[in-house]
Amino acid sequence: MRILIVGNGAAGNQAAVSLRKLDSSCEIVMLAEQNYPNYSACALPDVLAGWIPLKKTFLMAEEDYSRLNIETNFGLEVNQLNLTEQCLQAGELLYHYDRLILATGSQPVIPALPGSELPGNFVVKTPGDIEGILAHGPQQVVVVGAGNIGVETASALKNRGCKVTLVEMQDRIMPLLYDHKPATIIQSMLEEEGIEVVTGDRVIGISGDSQIELIHTQGQDINADTVIWAAGVKQNTHIARAAGLSIGSLGGIQVDTQMQSSAEGVFACGDCVQSFQVFTRKPCLSLLWSSAKRQAQVAARNCLGYLDKYEGSCSLVIEEIMGIPCVAMGLNLEALQGYEAEVVEHHAEDGYFRVLIVEDKIAGFQGVGSIEGAGAIFTMIKKKTPISESKRVLLNRGLIPSMAWYIDSRRYLSSQY
């Protein structure tokens, strides 16, 4: 069997490795536009901070691909997908397939604003971007978008000695992950680190002749020589769209629970798909490393005929700010609109924690501080364990020894403990 994988991000590489683990004889061909072997995009801010060398972000070398007998064609533009002929056109070449895995990923967006084409506008996505930023030698930086990438990049550049301003459009930082209160705590931590945080403001233009000099937001002008755009990504779905695969309402490739797209034998995984949230079962775009890897595992198994089902996306994001871990998992109050969510808050001596409970189940957890026992909470979110059931186990002398790992999580569940 000949399996074609488009894309060499987290999903594409995981799919290739999972396929090879399950089947030693099938032919695996990877095509990708990016000319890099497998690298970890999540580690790029650490490179920017100077904590790790850039070469450490590469996860696989060319020898690893040949050892696994995976044919790689990187740096190749994929033009067209023909579903009836089962072939993919890349440049002049035609690649036939029996099964196809689309892992085309996503692209960071640089909005078309005056000045956004000047040198000094960067995104953080590939090792090339990081090399570009380091070669540019930033002194005064504006990071646009305070999502997890924005916050990590801002923190990293601060560590490098730059003057950093973080601009967020919404009223709080990391609006997709945290509620107002934990976001405010994290914001004050960032400010203590020396990062200027501006919320509820957006960049409307950049001025400068041959280089960036001034960033204009709605409220103020900021002196800067570098702008880092972390204001969201766009799914790369043009190949799928042109081939006539159905595209979901949020702009990702529509897949079923086996990660199969609307065409049989064509699977999709990673940032380019529209999956569903584990708690609400509503469609969502999960743009996280872990979701991409799990989806790729499911796609690879189903591709070879082993039945596997995707259990739904559940976000888990951890940032370390000034050495203090900040964790967000599941949904926040904004994402739980329409549900009656109970908020259980804990101001403990080792941190602030908030658990969101919907219909006796944990829907989300946000914490700043010690993360002991958070792993059990994450499992409860994924498995939708009723809290009454967890408490029954925790209060039962006979049951708890065989499930001792729940002991640390009890402090989050209720203030009675």
- Residues of this chain that bind other proteins (CB under 8 A): 13-14, 38, 40, 42-43, 46, 51-52, 56, 59-60, 289-290, 293-294, 297, 316, 318, 320, 325, 327, 329, 371-376, 378-379, 397, 400-402, 404-405, 407-408
> Taking a C-beta distance cutoff of 8 angstroms, is the pair 249, 243 a contact?
no
Q: Which is nearer to other proteins, 120 or 182 (CB)?
A: 182
Q: Which is nearer to other proteins, 45 or 120 (CB)?
A: 45
Sign of the Cα pseudo-torsion (143, 147, 153, 156, in order): positive
**320 class by beta-carbon count within 10 Å (0-12 exposed, 13-18 middle, 19+ buried):** exposed
> Which residues touch 240 (CB under 8 Å, ≥6 apart)?
81, 102, 104, 247, 253, 261, 268, 272
CB of 401 to other proteins, least distance (A): 4
Q: Where are the alpha helices (DSSP H) in 23-161?
A: 44-49, 62-67, 127-136, 148-159
CB of 416 to other proteins, least distance (A): 12
Active site residues: 42
Q: Which is nearer to other proteins, 43 or 299 (CB)?
A: 43
CB of 69 to other proteins, least distance (A): 15
Q: Which is nearer to other proteins, 112 or 307 (CB)?
A: 307
CB of 332 to other proteins, least distance (A): 17
What value does the CA radius of gyration of the chain take, rounded to a whole number of Å?
23
DSSP annotation of 13 reads H
CB of 93 to other proteins, least distance (A): 29
Q: Which is nearer to other proteins, 131 or 320 (CB)?
A: 320
Strands (E), 116-247: 121-123, 140-144, 163-168, 196-199, 203-207, 214-217, 221-223, 226-229, 233-235
Q: Where are the alpha helices (DSSP H) in 198-316?
A: 238-243, 289-303
> Which residues touch 32 (CB under 8 Å, ≥6 apart)?
6, 7, 8, 12, 72, 73, 74, 75, 76
CB of 78 to other proteins, least distance (A): 24
Amino acid identity of residue 410, one-letter, is R
* Rounded Cα distance, 410 and 404, in Å: 11
CB of 293 to other proteins, least distance (A): 5
Sign of the Cα pseudo-torsion (164, 318, 254, 65, in order): positive
Q: Which is nearer to other proteins, 64 or 196 (CB)?
A: 64
Q: Which is nearer to other proteins, 63 or 92 (CB)?
A: 63
Amino acid identity of residue 130, one-letter, is I
